[in-house]
Amino acid sequence: MSDIFIVILSTLGALFILLAAIGVVRMPDLYLRISVTTKAATLGIGLILIAAAVYFGDTAITSRVMAIILFMLLTAPVGAHMIGRASYFTGVKLWLDSHHDDLKDKYDPKTHKLSSKDTPIEKDS
């Protein structure tokens, strides 16, 4: 019974990683590519790691797998956010069919400080 569970988990993990790879090729701009890889690849790697923990059935391996999954869940979104923010500030263009830019005119390009609705960006005269 555990063999079927392992096959299902590892196959789903491989499919999610495949979808992330296809998304990198198919998505039209950097920001959508970051979104696809962060979500799909993290889920795929997590499923494969869980399959490995079930396969080995050892407490030491299971604790390492859980630590790796926790580390990935904590670092992947932060890394993707930092890459996206750096890309936006350096001028990487959005996809031509993007209808809305949430950050447009809401940050100072010199200091990279974001404004809120309460505190608009002060323009130098």
C-alpha span between 25 and 19 (Å, rounded) = 10
Structural domains counted in the chain: 1
Residue 115: CB partners within 8 Å, gap ≥ 6? 106, 107, 108, 121
**Within 13 A of 48's CA, how many CA atoms are on the CB side?**
14
- Residue 62 lies inside a defined structural domain of this protein: yes
Give me the DSSP letters along 26-79. H-SSHHHHHHHIIIIIHHHHHHHHHHHHHHH--HHHHHHHHHHHHHHHHHHHHH
- On whether residue 76 sits in a domain, the answer given is yes
**Could you tell me if residue 113 is inside a domain?**
no
| Sequential pLDDT tens for the chain (125 residues) | 889 999 999 999 999 999 999 999 998 888 889 988 899 999 999 999 999 999 999 999 999 999 999 999 999 999 999 998 888 888 788 887 777 777 777 777 777 677 766 565 565 54
- Residue range of the domain that includes 26: 2-90
| 18, 47 contact by CB (below 8 A) | no
